[in-house]
């Protein structure tokens, strides 16, 4: 299974490191990543694979929510298929 992770918030040091560490801790493979800072606002999109993950999708979402609160950004984990369906024009 693949997932799309979006991260949005005020830019500060350590955002990428924190989110990447969460993925590494759970054996979630980051397949693609894009990030930018626009007028002090941090945005990142990651495409990840949970094929070899040691955590369920639901548990990863829960951990991402906890990290989101801890570092002060909004982290959203979505199933890639649902993300694609919702964002089709």
- Tens-place pLDDT, residues 65-79: 999 999 999 999 998
Torsion of CA 4, 44, 20, 62, to 10 degrees: -50
Q: What is the pLDDT of residue 31?
A: 98
For 13, other C-beta atoms within 10 Å of its C-beta total 7
> How confident is the model over 34-59, as a mean pLDDT?
97
Q: What is the pLDDT of residue 83?
A: 63
Confidence of residue 84 (pLDDT cuts 50, 70, 90): low
Confidence of residue 88 (pLDDT cuts 50, 70, 90): low
Domains, in order of start, for the chain: 2-86 (3.30.70.260)
Q: What is the pLDDT of residue 12?
A: 97
């Amino acid at each position: 299974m693949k997932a799309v992770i979006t991260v949005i918030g005020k830019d500060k040091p350590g955002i990428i490191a924190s989110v990447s560490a969460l993925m590494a801790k759970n054996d979630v493979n980051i397949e693609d990543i894009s990030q930018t800072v626009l007028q002090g606002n941090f945005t990142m999109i990651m495409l990840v694979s949970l094929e070899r993950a040691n955590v369920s999708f639901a548990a990863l979402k829960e951990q991402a929510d906890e990290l989101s609160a801890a570092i002060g950004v909004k982290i959203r984990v979505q199933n890639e298929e649902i993300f694609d369906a919702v964002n089709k024009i």
